Amino acid sequence: MVVCLVRPIVPCKYSLSSYNHLLFGIFFKVEAEYEAKESQEGTAKMKWDSKLRLRQSKLATAGKSMDRAAVLALFLDEAIVAAEDKVLICKSIHSAE
């Protein structure tokens, strides 16, 4: 199981329950993608592990020593934040119309 550092849910002018439902859907979708990456085999698994190790070494060089699980949680958190930002951008475009 992947552990995530999810930022707090921000209320909006739309129905709070539908917005929260959408954010939870995003969370589960991104989490499922990362679970699939973790369960890969062969060359795909080696490439995924090398991405994690590369990020881990870059963070260590910057003085932030993290283990593999923490780097994975960081990747997951960044993906969730990016997906939430896409939803907010789409919502602001549609509300401007």
User: Where exactly are the structural domains of the chain?
Assistant: 24-96
pTM above 0.75, yes or no: no
Q: Which residues contact 34 (CB under 8 A, 6 or more apart)?
A: 2, 72, 75, 76, 79
Q: Give, for all 97 residues of the chain, the pLDDT tens digit.
A: 444 444 445 545 555 567 677 777 888 888 888 899 999 999 999 999 999 999 999 999 999 989 999 999 999 989 988 888 877 666 555 555 5
**Which tokens hold the place of 59?**
């963070």
Decide if 36 contacts 2 (C-beta within 8 A).
no
Quick one: which H or E segment has residue 7? none
**Of 72, 81, 66, nearest to 52 (Cα)?**
72
Q: How distant, in Å, are the alpha carbons of 4, 61, 78 from that of 1?
A: 10, 28, 17
